Amino acid sequence: PVECAMFQCGGCWAVLGDSLHLCAQEERRIGLLVCYRVTNNVAWEDSLMIGLEGALLGCAYNVLSCQSCGSNVGFILYSAPSDLAYLRGLFCFFKDSIICYLLEKQTIIQASKVNFPAVTLEE
């Protein structure tokens, strides 16, 4: 595929996933890249967190972090209001916390500045 990218930790550049496993993008509320598979460099807490404010208000989720440097890179949604329910059980990376290595261009860019082809699970 032309627009292949690796998703890397913004702190230490460890590889967290890739665009071949990208299954959704959420831009309206949080700014996420959503994958159904990640690398062993992604760790998650067993305990659930509850969102008390902001975009994750009322949501229960597990925090995703980089195994190498411990940076918070996203979450796995456990329960959510109906408008975010389609993200449950998937690996949600904060675009502001990761960088992308674009294979074709051999360029590194902030994930928040990359527009991947439209994919969505929302429907």
pLDDT given at position 121: 56
How far, in Å, CA of 35 to CA of 21, rounded? 5
**Global pTM?**
0.89
pLDDT at position 104, please?
85
State residue 123's pLDDT score. Answer: 46
Q: Where are the domains of the chain?
A: 5-113
CATH superfamily for 5-113 is: Peptide methionine sulfoxide reductase. (2.170.150.20)
Which of 65-69, 78-82, 83-87, 101-105 has maximum average pLDDT?
A: 65-69
